[in-house]
Structure 1
Amino acid sequence: MNYFFSIIVPVYNAQNYIAQCARSLFGQNFKNIEYVFVDDCSSDNSLEILKEVLKEFPDRYTSVKIIKNHKNMGVSFTRKVGMESTTGQYVIQIDSDDWVDLDMCNAFYKKIKETNADIICSDYYENYLGRQDYIEQNYGKDVDYFKAILDGRLHGSLCNKMIKRSLFVDNNIYPILGFNLFEDKFVSLRLFFFSNKVEYINSAFLHYRQYDKSFTNQPVNESQIYDTIFFINELQKFFETNKLLSILNNEFYGCILNHKKIFLLDEQYFYLWDSFYPEANKIKYLLTLKSYSLIKKIITALTLLFSKKIMKFAYTIHKKNKGL
């Protein structure tokens, strides 16, 4: 069958959420959909639950592929397996702990038929326990999408974007294996760079589950530091290859500055703030980050001006609080 849409769902230990996710996908009011679930060796009952939900939708049975990695490989490998297994004209990726409205594919289909765009983007919801926030992405005809993802105004996730599969294939754009943090943002940046036409639907379909845990309260691990460094280095290679540094120099260093903040969350990585791309530690690059609030810009500016003193003070307070 020639599918119009393919939906990729990476699965890993999602037994608490996979039923809601799958029902929202199988229940779409658009029929011509291929589903590709890739399990990254879950140790829970995710696959069993998925198969039970599928029984509720017998008309979808022949349109579903369930693939299992031979061992736990991480999200980038899992997404790549899913992408290589699709046959639809357009592709979207949905995380297994999220869900979508039942008219998502139908709305994307209508917009594609109207515009023949390479990428269709939409707003999305952030769903917290007891609260739902509508996140408007403000895609307009005057928006440089590549720059907007770079400076953080637009979300880098692929989950609110329906993308022509040939855009991936023709430009060899796939997740880089072993690279998990920011991997979707790097894929998005390349897709938008090579796209000829992008359109926007000012409606939300994706429900992006949030866990009410502050990023700054979570321990930083070595893998996150590695992925941040890897992302920045790969971004520079991409800019150099496509001769973008002279055009988007400020935005490039602003993006680096934004991602370097992870180095400030653990004392053992403080040295990277000053030693890794130190040329990015300038106020003028901070000003390119249009997604930053005034307060966030002030805090970051103080860090740029007094980084070592602020880090030492913050870590001293942190150690005292841990001892209480």
Structure 2
Amino acid sequence: MKPFVSIIVPMYNVENYIEECVDSLLKQTLKNIEIILVDDGSPDRSGEIARQYCEKDKRVKVIHKKNGGLSSARNAGLKAATGDYIGFVDGDDFVADVMFNEMYVTAKQDDLDIVMCGYYKHSDKSGQYFPPTLPKDRVLLKQDLKQELKRAHETQFIWYVWRNLYRRELLRDNELYFCEDIRFAEDSPFNLYAFYAAKRVKAIDAGYYMYRWNPQSLTEVPYKPYMDENLIRQYRAKKRFYETFQLVEECEEDLQTYICKHQIPMLIANACAGQKPSKQIRRHIKEILTYPMVQSSLKKTSIQNDKLLSGQRLVLLLCKLNVPIMLEFFFKRKIAQ
């Protein structure tokens, strides 16, 4: 029998977490599933552990591939998936036993293309709940989704593929895959296309997904040498999306505000987190301020923008004035706190 749901699990250096992850999938109350473990050339025991699970349970499949990054691993899983719906679980996370049953049943009952749920952010001490950022417990149609796309960055509903269940036909018919040249924040361009293509979407206010805060993960390490080029590629992918579907005018303010509110501070904070002399850091900040996506956002976003907090307005002003020395001081002080 064809599986109801295919669950794609990319693995890279997750040997300390992968057993809890896979065990939570094998405990699903929805039994007709396939679990696709993608060993992305991991140098640890992740691939070996995956093979052991494959031998124990026929629902588990393993793909071994050369390291290509998270997007590449997810794409390998997408090509192998055979289920009616597709879910994603990162190898260092885990899920509630009822997650895929509840989401699949909801999807079938309401004939949905995408189902979204909430998630818990787990640390060693506690778990904080984050509800879905779309209107909850009602079916959103094409016209609703177009309105939501106008504030996709403000509400952040395009963040994270792992809290969503996607109809496989939606992804297949629209040839939707992850951009493999983007190795940081790759979810949002993928979700822009997926939600635009979707006709029926629903968000469930329940915390089925358990996101593990891991200080050693790619998203949490203080300094990311690849951040600049990846955020530039992400921006270009989003611009292509808006241009392709003639949404530039409607969605430009949302994107520009987001860049000023989040991505410019992220870029400058990353520059200041590197172990470099101040002279090099200031040179890097000066370079950041020349990026076309940064210049465009600085030009089009007012310091009086009511979506910016006071600290964000100060950063925006310092960027407009082009004073790397003050920006370095501001962000190094924040890092030290």
Taking structure 1 as the reference length, the TM-score comes to 0.86
Is 1:264 aligned to 2:268, yes or no?
Answer: yes
Q: Please say if residues 253 and 285 of structure 1, whose CA atoms lie closer than 8 Å, have aligned partners that are also in contact.
A: no
Is 1:176 aligned to 2:179, yes or no?
Answer: yes
CA displacement 1:161-215 (0-9 Å, x = unmatched): 0010111111111011221112111101110111101111111111001135898
Residue from 194, 211, 215 that aligns with 2:197: 194
Matches of 1:158 and 1:205, distance apart in 2: 13
> Aligned-pair distance for 1:261?
2.6
Matches of 2:266 and 2:248, distance apart in 1: 24
Aligned position for 1:299: 311
Aligned position for 2:8: 8
Q: Please say if residues 254 and 288 of structure 1, whose CA atoms lie closer than 8 Å, have aligned partners that are also in contact.
A: no
What amino acid maps onto 1:312 in structure 2? I
What amino acid maps onto 1:276 in structure 2? P
Residue from 91, 94, 102 that aligns with 1:96: 91
Q: Which runs of 5+ in 2 are unaligned?
A: 139-143, 272-280
Aligned position for 1:24: 24
Distance 1:272 1:197, change over 3 A: same
> Aligned-pair distance for 1:129?
1.1
Matches of 2:127 and 2:185, distance apart in 1: 24
Q: Please say if residues 265 and 315 of structure 2, whose CA atoms lie closer than 8 Å, have aligned partners that are also in contact.
A: no
Taking structure 2 as the reference length, the TM-score comes to 0.83
> Aligned-pair distance for 1:238?
1.4
Q: Which runs of 5+ in 1 are unaligned?
A: 290-295
Q: Secondary structure at the match of 2:256?
A: helix
Is 1:218 aligned to 2:222, yes or no?
Answer: yes
Aligned position for 2:116: 121
Q: Please say if residues 239 and 245 of structure 1, whose CA atoms lie closer than 8 Å, have aligned partners that are also in contact.
A: yes
Q: Please say if residues 264 and 273 of structure 1, whose CA atoms lie closer than 8 Å, have aligned partners that are also in contact.
A: no
Q: Please say if residues 158 and 191 of structure 2, whose CA atoms lie closer than 8 Å, have aligned partners that are also in contact.
A: no
Q: Secondary structure at the match of 1:151?
A: helix
> Aligned-pair distance for 1:148?
4.4
> Aligned-pair distance for 1:154?
2.6
Matches of 1:234 and 1:7, distance apart in 2: 26
Distance 1:218 1:52, change over 3 A: same
Following superposition of structure 1 onto structure 2, how do residues 232-251 of structure 1 map, counting pairs within 5 Å?
232-251=235-254
> Aligned-pair distance for 1:153?
3.4
> Aligned-pair distance for 1:13?
1.2
> Aligned-pair distance for 1:316?
4.7
Matches of 1:319 and 1:62, distance apart in 2: 52
> Aligned-pair distance for 1:48?
2.4
Aligned position for 2:60: 64
Q: Secondary structure at the match of 1:38?
A: strand
Aligned position for 1:80: 75
Matches of 2:306 and 2:254, distance apart in 1: 6
Q: Secondary structure at the match of 1:163?
A: strand
Identity of aligned residues (%): 26
Aligned position for 2:102: 107
What amino acid maps onto 2:58 in structure 1? T
Is 1:157 aligned to 2:152, yes or no?
Answer: no
Q: Secondary structure at the match of 2:249?
A: coil
Matches of 1:260 and 1:145, distance apart in 2: 24
What amino acid maps onto 1:43 in structure 2? P
- Say what the alpha-carbon RMSD is for the aligned residues: 2.8
- Number of residue pairs matched by the alignment: 310
Distance 1:41 1:231, change over 3 A: same
